[in-house]
Amino acid sequence: MPMTVTEIRQGLASGQFSSVEITRDYLQRIAQHNPALNCFISVTEDLALQQAGAADALLAQGNPGLLTGVPLAHKDLFCTDGVKTSCGSRMLDNFIAPYDATAVERIRDAGAVMLGKTNMDEFAMGSSNENSWYGNVANPWNTAHVPGGSSGGSAAAVAAGLAPAATGTDTGGSIRQPAALCGVTGIKPTYGRVSRYGMIAFGSSLDQGGPFARSAADCALLLQAMSGFDARDSTSSDTPVDDYSARLEQGIEGLKIGLPKEYFAEGLDSRLARVIETAIDELRKQGAEILDISLPNTHLSIPTYYVVAMAECSSNLSRFDGVRFGHRCENPVDLEDLYKRSRGEGFGAEVKRRILIGTYALSAGYYDAYYLKAQQLRRMIKNDFQTAFDSVDLILGPTTPEVAFKIGAKTDDPVSMYLQDIYTISLNLAGLPGLSLPVGFVDGLPVGMQLIGNYFDEARLLQVAHRYQQVSDWHLQAPEAFS
């Protein structure tokens, strides 16, 4: 059974194995299984072994940091100093980042070892990892199925035991949805909790970084390392960071958990609903009080998101012009030709679709009808949550409407693909934290349950997930083909 970060820390502290040994094990597993899964875009073997050697020296001195010697992987959206950072795009296939993202820097300062960079949908646009320039990623539970997206490489790598943990980013569900589809735990923190500095921007008012791991206790460690104020991100929050691990063991007696009726309505596969109801019964047994609530504007979240996210991406991606970053076409005849062909060749179909729609929505004459309207709906969606949090401590629902679908099943139908995020996207619009944890299987594929917290209530999400993981073993299951 693949190890957790918690177990690796114990093994390193007790001298059961060294960081170099465990790092070599993971590099060997990557070499063996990555051809079937395609979860890594780059494997940084030399760097990993060098960092592991340095970690072993620190461990020998008896003064380790939070993650000293623990190997992990980063989504290829985080800039990594001196290492290719492609964002899943041909546009950045030749881009070597000249600095580390803040989240990467903090994880490195905590002592972690970087195994490599994980595959993802191009510029984080997608729900299935089928939009990557580097090819799709397979779901380790059934390689004919998608791992979810856009952080599909990170989720699949953790599920298959190619890394004990990995980073991801979530603009509309890209941590929680692949975590659910791959049977791992992932948390998207409150907007502003983890610095966006050095994260290649998609929708700047929605993007948040966070961790994937095998357990809530592991996510607590990773999130602790990643979180906190950063002067280099103007939207970073100076709210103090809780001690996530210290709060894990608090019980959940008397905790009021709300079930939004809109999340258990038409559209949710009834087999998933049954699995989630069993998990809810377990939380009730642990002392939680379960209440019915309503988030009446849920149906507006997908259309609202696809105006806001596309508008923001059309602006963010204008910097990729063939002049300053990444791909440049051969022999341009003039500046316009350079822009057109560099962008035409560098971006894939989904990215182009979104830049076009976003540019349209922001154009003079349409701004009020689309962008302004979307901002108004966004406020209504946020207010729904605030009203709900007047009567409950936490909101619970499914993470996705169905389990992992077959590769290719939705590629010709973008709207059906967009609907995958129906339960996750509204949190990004509101800026709220959400966690997905595995609670069972349907057709041999994992089912994720989502916990939604009030602003900066990550500790409570981790605590409830941890409580559930103390009395269940879904999170410890591993796909047989990669054991």
With respect to ligand GLN, which residue has the nearer C-beta, 111 or 173?
Answer: 173
Q: How far is the CB of 71 from ligand GLN (least distance, A)?
A: 25
Q: Is 286 exposed, middle or buried (0-12, 13-18, 19+ CB in 10 A)?
A: middle
With respect to ligand GLN, which residue has the nearer C-beta, 71 or 178?
Answer: 178
Q: How far is the CB of 103 from ligand GLN (least distance, A)?
A: 15
Q: Binders of ligand GLN among 294-313, rule CB under 6 A?
A: 309
**Sign of the torsion angle spanned by Cα atoms 1, 282, 216, 149:** positive
The residue among 176, 123, 129 whose CA lies nearest residue 312 is: 123
With respect to ligand GLN, which residue has the nearer C-beta, 170 or 242?
Answer: 170
* Alpha carbon distance 135, 19 (integer Å): 31
Across 301-320, b (16+ Cβ under 10 Å) vs e yields bbebbbbbbbbbbbbbbeeb
126 near ligand GLN, judged by CB under 6 A = yes
Near ligand GLN by CB under 6 A: residue from 23, 127, 185, 237: 127
With respect to ligand GLN, which residue has the nearer C-beta, 202 or 423?
Answer: 202
CB-based contacts of 337, cutoff 8 Å, min separation 6:
329
Q: How far is the CB of 124 from ligand GLN (least distance, A)?
A: 4
Q: 150 preceded by cis ω (within 30°)?
A: yes
The label of the residue with tokens 């154009």 reads 363
Region binding ligand GLN by CB under 6 A among candidate stretches 172-180, 295-303, 338-346, 470-478: 172-180
The residue among 149, 143, 140, 217 whose CA lies nearest residue 177 is: 149
125 near ligand GLN, judged by CB under 6 A = yes
CB-based contacts of 397, cutoff 8 Å, min separation 6:
259, 260, 263, 264, 276, 423, 449, 450, 452
Q: How far is the CB of 235 from ligand GLN (least distance, A)?
A: 17
Across 281-362, where does the E strand assignment appear? 289-293
Q: Binders of ligand GLN among 95-124, rule CB under 6 A?
A: 124
Q: How far is the CB of 85 from ligand GLN (least distance, A)?
A: 16
With respect to ligand GLN, which residue has the nearer C-beta, 199 or 279?
Answer: 199
Count of residues interacting with ligand GLN (CB under 6 A): 13
With respect to ligand GLN, which residue has the nearer C-beta, 53 or 303?
Answer: 303
Which helix (H) or strand (E) is 184 found in, with range? none
The label of the residue with tokens 């929050």 reads 237
Q: Is 373 exposed, middle or buried (0-12, 13-18, 19+ CB in 10 A)?
A: middle
173 near ligand GLN, judged by CB under 6 A = yes
187 and 170 Cβ atoms separated by less than 8 Å: no
Coil, helix or strand at residue 451 = strand
Q: How far is the CB of 208 from ligand GLN (least distance, A)?
A: 9
Q: Binders of ligand GLN among 387-426, rule CB under 6 A?
A: 421
Q: Binders of ligand GLN among 312-371, rule CB under 6 A?
A: none
Active site (annotated) includes residue 436: no
Q: How far is the CB of 113 from ligand GLN (least distance, A)?
A: 26
With respect to ligand GLN, which residue has the nearer C-beta, 195 or 342?
Answer: 195
150 near ligand GLN, judged by CB under 6 A = yes
| Catalytic option among 150, 227, 237, 426 | 150
Q: Binders of ligand GLN among 184-243, rule CB under 6 A?
A: 202
The residue among 104, 318, 54 whose CA lies nearest residue 222 is: 104
Q: How far is the CB of 88 from ligand GLN (least distance, A)?
A: 11
Active site (annotated) includes residue 215: no
- CB neighbours of residue 300 within 10 Å: 17
Region binding ligand GLN by CB under 6 A among candidate stretches 94-102, 167-175, 275-283, 456-464: 167-175
170 near ligand GLN, judged by CB under 6 A = yes
Q: Which residues pair with 42 in a beta bridge?
A: 117
Region binding ligand GLN by CB under 6 A among candidate stretches 135-143, 168-176, 217-225, 390-398: 168-176
* Alpha carbon distance 402, 410 (integer Å): 13
Dig out the tokens for 30 from the structure.
């990557």
Q: How far is the CB of 371 from ligand GLN (least distance, A)?
A: 17
Pairing verdict, β 113-118 and 256-260: unpaired
With respect to ligand GLN, which residue has the nearer C-beta, 180 or 279?
Answer: 180
Active site (annotated) includes residue 195: no
Residue type, 238: D
Q: Find the helix packing angle between 19-37 and 152-159, rounded to 10°.
A: 120
The label of the residue with tokens 């949190």 reads 427
Near ligand GLN by CB under 6 A: residue from 69, 116, 172, 453: 172
| Catalytic option among 18, 132, 174, 342 | 174
List alpha helices for 86-238, DSSP H.
102-109, 152-159, 176-182, 216-226
Dig out the tokens for 377 from the structure.
């709906």
With respect to ligand GLN, which residue has the nearer C-beta, 170 or 230?
Answer: 170
- Contacts with ligand GLN by CB under 6 A lie at 124-127, 150, 170-174, 202, 309, 421
Q: Which residues are known to be catalytic?
A: 75, 150, 174
